Structure 1
Amino acid sequence: MKSAKVMIVEDEALVAMMVEDMLQDLGCEVAASFGAVADALAWLDGDNPPPDCAVLDVNIGGEMVFPVAEELRERGVPFVFATGYGDLPRKGFEAIDVLAKPINVGQLRMAIDRFRHD
C-alpha cells in the first residue's frame, strides 16, 4: 500500500511538528505543512500534486480554516478537522470527523485508514 501524502494546516509550530511525527510513524508522507490559511490556499492553487488527505486545525491564528476545507472538498480530497474546542460552527461540514486536541495517534490512524480505503 502506498503511503498517504498528507497536508497539514496548523498554526502552532510544535503541534504541527508533533502531527508530522505521528503521520510519519503511521507510514505517511507530509505533502506540505502550513501555518496560515492563505499559504495553504496558494499551495493548492499552484502546480503541486494534490495531497491524498489533510489534517486541518480549525482556528489558524484567529482565522477559520473553512476556505481550505471547501477547496479540498471541491477537489475530492478527504480531510479531518483538529481542534481544542468542543462543538464547532461548521455548517456544511457536519459529516467531517473532528479530532480533539491534543491529537490521539489512535484516532489519527483510524482517520488515515479510512482515507486509504475511500
Structure 2
Amino acid sequence: MSAPRVMIVEDEALVAMMLEDLLGDLGCQIAGSFGAVDKALAWLASDQPPPDGAVLDVNIGGQMVFPVAEALRARGVPFVFATGYGNLPRRGFEDIHVLSKPLNIGQLRLAVRAFSDGH
C-alpha cells in the first residue's frame, strides 16, 4: 500500500510545519499545504490528483474553511478538522471527526488510518 497523500489547510506556519512533520512520521506524503482557503480551492480545482485525505484548520486567517470541506466532500475525499474551538461553528459536518489543538499524535494516527481505509 502506498503512503496516503494528505492535504493540509492551516494558516499558522509553525503549526503547518509541525503537522507536516507528524504526518511524515506517520508515513504520509504531503499532497499540498495551504495557508489560505482560496489557494486550497484553486489546487483542488486544478488537474492535480485528489488527496487521500485532508486535515483542515477551521479558521484560516479569519475565513472559515468550510468551502474547502465541501469541495473535498463532493470529491469523496475524507477529512478531519483540527481546531481550538470546542464545537464547530457550523452545522452540516457533525459526521466529521474533530481533532483538538494542540494536536495529539494518537488522534492524528487514527485519522490517517481512516484516510488509508477510505482508499
Corresponding residue for residue 16 of structure 2: 16
Identify the residue that residue 51 of structure 1 maps to in structure 2: 51
Could you say which residue in structure 1 is the equivalent of 2:99? 99
Residue 116 in structure 1 maps to residue 116 in structure 2 = yes
The 2-side partners of 1:106 and 1:58 are apart by 20
Cα distance in 1 between the residues matched to 2:60 and 2:86? 16
Structure 2 stretches lacking a partner, 5+ long: none
TM-score after normalising by structure 2: 0.97
For each residue in 1:34-57, what CA deviation from the matched residue of structure 2 results, as whole angstroms up to 9, or x when unmatched? 000000000011111100000000
| TM-score with structure 1 setting the length | 0.98
Partner SS state of residue 112, structure 1: helix
User: Could you give the per-residue CA deviations for residues 52-82 of structure 1, whole angstroms, max 9, x where no partner exists?
Assistant: 0000000000000000000000000000000
In the TM superposition, what is the alpha-carbon distance from 1:88 to its structure 2 partner? 1.5
Aligned AA for 1:77?
A: V
**In structure 1, distance between residues paired with 2:11 and 2:87:** 20
In the aligned structure 1, how far is the partner of 2:23 from the partner of 2:32? 12
Measured in 2, the distance between the counterparts of 1:94 and 1:107 equals 17
* Number of residue pairs aligned between Structure 1 and Structure 2: 118
Identity of aligned residues (%): 72
2:39 aligned with 1:39, yes or no? Answer: yes
Q: Please state whether the residue corresponding to 1:85 is helix, strand or coil.
A: coil
- Moved runs in structure 1, 4+ residues, more than 3 A? none
1:81 aligns with 2:81: yes
Describe the SS at the equivalent of 2:76. Answer: coil
Please, what is the CA RMSD of the aligned residues? 0.6
Shift of 1:90: 2.4
Question: What amino acid is the match of 1:10?
Answer: E
**C-alpha distance in 2 between matches for 1:45 and 1:87:** 29
